[in-house]
Chains A and B, each alone.
Chain A
């Protein structure tokens, strides 16, 4: 049992015997005026009924003649999230210093009971967090705006993983900024009320909802509007020299920030480009100086709102050797260092940030976007690298780790591969040494996230991940880019790889359909099938292209094939839209498959033109 707890706990000291939970275990706790511990006890009681079928019997303060099964006991000796569960043959004592630790213990104890059926090995279970802030960032701006219900469920899952920070990435319109009601119709944005409701919900589950508003670059949607055109700097960034740029951000902050109780705000500022002439006009020598000037102004806005800002730190990191300039970044600001590859990156970066004297975050990713199945293998290495660095530098400025899930290309990927990756991350951030192996997260995901059926979804996710081949691109839009029927270059991949991947997808579809027979797992099954069908479609496309390259298909046969693929894609698209709406707000769902259909239709056009051209050249030759 102890090895199945997820995240695995820090320390277990075995003792003789076991404790057997009675039918209606009495749970003793200290009731406080604010009702905080009672809320945790309610969660415990509800969870125990749902997950272990046990009805417990909570009593406040006084046990009388009742035999106490679980005693939640406050102690001065434990700090922050550290807790101890002592199991003796006559009962269980949960020791905590702060309510958050009682909440963490609640999840562990529920798993202990769930896994043992109430026969719990005696001993001392000690647990604490290796990394102080363990966060997840969800892009709600590209493609999918999730429903409030999905976000609440996400918070529930994160709380079960013992995570404590959530960010929803915003650029434009995915939140309804009071300052700009004219654009409410652009998207199904999250409303202030939804955001506040989520904030409260998360807070009760000890997850800090941190506002995340890009405030410099990535603002193309705003800057495309007539009203804001004049604020446009380079590409999709604001012009940092205009006062009105700062005022614009202030308007976003005044609209967004009051929804959050967090003391932090993520101001974004990644991938900013600045014109040379802007640098010159500013009287500076380097772009980084102008960048720092601007984020210093944004820092003041955040401080005015009572929040400490974090910002994407790649430009600071890139100029870290220029100590004089980089040190101009106000010391309260928190650089967040991101990198999504599987190379060892974070330790070196942390060294630099630490020597500059900043508190900083590290940000690996789910490696999910642009693919239907996450690139789990890279994600795992990436997250592990961040966790190792965060632990190594935890007393030297590393505040926490934020795992990013982006939504490039309309956020086509479904939640299943994200969740297992985040679970893995949560494990290593809580207890690095205990949770290095992916299989723990996989086993937990099957049990707690994927419906606990005989279909091992974690294996399907792994098959999907293994089908990801950097030489094949796994599935999505990038592949369509290299598939051009105009070119006579040979397609650079092997036919055998495609066939293997198609076989993998067939297995996923077969297993997913079996999963779909289980009540409550239908939606997940549908998402797996639609994902695999998309990859399979792509496989057929590539095989067709290779067959043409190798002279096995005529152009006419290719055209016929493409027409069939279009039909198939239309059908999958409908299914994808249906599935999208189940967990996300509908507006924008028609963009989901747009890219794939666009490319297929483009291929059709190319083929038709080529056939016409060949015909007419043949005709003219005949003449």
Chain B
């Protein structure tokens, strides 16, 4: 049982015998003035019943003549999230210093009871987190805006994983900013009321909902609006960075903050400020010539962070621009220690986390390490990359005393991936952030997801996702951007061939078959199966597209094109409709067409090319 607890706990000291839970276990707890422990007990009672069928009997302060099975005791010796569960043959005692630790113990205890069938090995179970802040960031700005119910569910999943921070990434008007009601209806945005509810729901589960508002780069959507076009640092449509030396820019950011921040009780704010381009040649050229682009960047970052502080929040910011100057100590030292650099890196093959972690720690920063789920721009995630990325991140975070580990899930390319694509990565990140040494083995995370999230009775969802992940190919999505005559992806070596496509096609067909034989008991079981199937079908469809492309590349013609196109297009419509249906189940309908618009461009390009409607020059 002990090895199956997830995340695996830090320390177990064995003792003789075991404790057997009676049918209606009495739980003695001690009320606190704010009612926090009672709330935890209420959740414990409900979850224990839902998950194990055991109906417990909580009593406050005084056991009388009842036989107490479980007692929650406050202990002055324990701090933060640390808790101890002592199991003797007579009873179970949970020791905690702060309510949050009682909340953590609740989850472990329910797993202990569920896994052991109510028979729990005696001993001392000690547990604490390796990393103080264990977070997850969900991109809600790129096409896919989640329904509020999905976010509540995400909080539940995170709470069970002992995570304590959630961020929803904002760069566009998917939140209804009170300062700009005229743009609130462009998207199906989240309302202040929804965010308030989520913040309160998360807080009750000891998850800090941290506002995340990009405040410099990535503001493409805003800067396309006539009202803000003047604020671009460069006068071109592709410009996403706001002009940092125009005072109206800070007014704009202040308006976003005033609208957004009151919904959050968190003491933090992620101000973003990653991937800021255009400072060299844009309206800031003159200043950049004097102080360098980094000088321009840091001056503005300072201002933004001051704004955050005026709103009573401690700022976090993406540290990519800063870390580009890691060899310039004077630059790095300019950054206030109140600011929290977020060192992100989504490539599992490099050693960035180790290097950046060492640097930021040596300079005395409170910093975060941010790996990614590697699920964006594909239907199945690049799990191997993600796992290495996460593990290296956690190692660096523990070694260099990072304040937090923030796992990121981005929505590039229309956020086409379904939730399952991020979940295994999320589970794994949570576990190594809690207890690195105990949870290195990814199989533990996969087994937990099957047990606790997908509730597999027959078959294994995680195994299916891993098979899909082995066939991972982002090339498929990027290729729609390109001309039909261009084979391959310049980021990969060489071109793809028939064998490659056949392997993916057959692999996806296998996945569809495996999904059919799954038996799941989660309340979203059917939807999950549909999402898995739709993902595989979309891959198969895209493989057909690649095969056509390959054939054209080899023969400069496609035999029987008209007939094959008809089949191809009707399959496209069918799969598209299915993907959208699944999308709409957990997300707002808004922009569920985003990726298909890009695919349509690729298809139109194919038709025009094959029919010779595009001049030869273009074909080259």
Contacts and interface: CB of A to CB of B under 8 A. Distances in A.
Interface of A: 31, 33, 35, 38, 42, 45, 57-66, 177-182, 191-193, 196-197, 200, 251, 254-255, 258-259, 261
A401 B58 CA distance: 33
Residue among B63, B258, B259 with the highest chain A CB neighbour number at 10 A: B259
Interface in B27-86: 31, 35, 38, 41-42, 45, 57-66
23 contacts: A35-B200, A35-B203, A57-B191, A58-B193, A59-B262, A64-B177, A64-B180, A64-B255, A64-B258, A64-B259, A65-B178, A65-B179, A65-B180, A66-B178, A178-B65, A181-B65, A181-B66, A193-B41, A196-B60, A197-B42, A254-B62, A258-B62, A259-B60
A100 to B, nearest CB: 17
A193 B57 contact: yes
A64 B197 contact: no
Given A64-B177, A64-B179, A193-B57, A258 B64 contact: no
B509 interface: no
Contacts of A191: 57
B263 interface: yes
Interface string B200-215: 1001000000000000
A182 B263 CA distance: 50
Contact of A60 (B60, B181, B263): B263
Contacts of B181: 64-66
A179 B59 CA distance: 11
A200 B59 CA distance: 15
A40 to B, nearest CB: 12
B196 interface: yes
A178 B265 contact: no
Given A35-B203, A59-B262, A62-B262, 8 more contacts: A35-B265, A62-B259, A64-B178, A64-B180, A178-B64, A182-B65, A192-B57, A196-B60
B178 A62 contact: yes
A197 B59 CA distance: 12
Contact of B45 (A60, A181, A193, A261): A193
B314 to A, nearest CB: 16
Closest 4 CB pairs of A and B: A178-B64, A64-B178, A61-B262, A64-B179
Contact of B62 (A38, A45, A60, A255): A255
Given A57-B191, A196-B38, A197-B42, A180 B64 contact: yes
B64 A58 contact: no
B121 to A, nearest CB: 28
B179 A251 contact: no
Contacts of A31: 196, 262-263, 265
Contacts of A200: 35, 38
B192 interface: yes
Contacts of B180: 64-65
Nearest to A193: B58
Interface in B549-563: none
Interface of A is mostly: mixed
Contacts of A64: 177-181, 255, 258-259
A193 to B, nearest CB: 5
A181 B60 contact: no
B196 A179 contact: no
A246 to B, nearest CB: 17
Interface string B256-275: 00110011010000000000
Contact of A181 (B64, B200, B255): B64
Contacts of A261: 35
Contacts of B59: 178, 192-193
A60 B262 contact: yes
A609 to B, nearest CB: 50
B196 A38 contact: yes
**Residue of B38, B64, B179, B263 with most chain A CB atoms under a 10 A cut-off:** B64
Contacts of B197: 42
A177 B262 contact: no
Contacts of A62: 178-179, 258-259, 262
A38 B38 contact: no
A63 B258 CA distance: 9
B63 to A, nearest CB: 6
A38 B200 contact: yes
Contact of B64 (A38, A42, A65, A255): A255
Nearest to A255: B64
Contacts of B196: 31, 38, 58, 60
B60 A192 contact: yes
B16 to A, nearest CB: 29
Most buried by B among A60, A180, A254, A255: A60
Contacts of A38: 196, 200
Nearest to B184: A66
Contact of B193 (A57, A196, A259): A57
A327 B42 CA distance: 45
B62 A178 contact: yes
A193 B49 CA distance: 14
Contacts of B31: 258
Contacts of A35: 200, 203, 265
B262 A192 contact: no
Interface centre among B38, B178, B263 (most CB of A within 10 A): B178
A181 B64 CA distance: 8
Contacts of A181: 64-66
B70 to A, nearest CB: 14
Nearest to A177: B64
Contacts of A61: 258, 262
B262 A33 contact: no
A59 B262 CA distance: 8
Interface string B158-197: 0000000000000000000111111000000001110011
Contacts of B38: 196, 200
A385 to B, nearest CB: 38
Most chain B Cβ neighbours within 10 Å, of A31, A179, A180, A182: A31
Nearest to B34: A34
Contacts of B41: 193
A35 B204 CA distance: 11
B232 to A, nearest CB: 22
B177 A178 contact: no
Given A38-B200, A58-B193, A64-B179, A254 B64 contact: yes
A182 B178 CA distance: 60
Nearest to B38: A196
B183 to A, nearest CB: 10
A200 B64 CA distance: 23
A259 B259 CA distance: 41
A45 B262 CA distance: 18
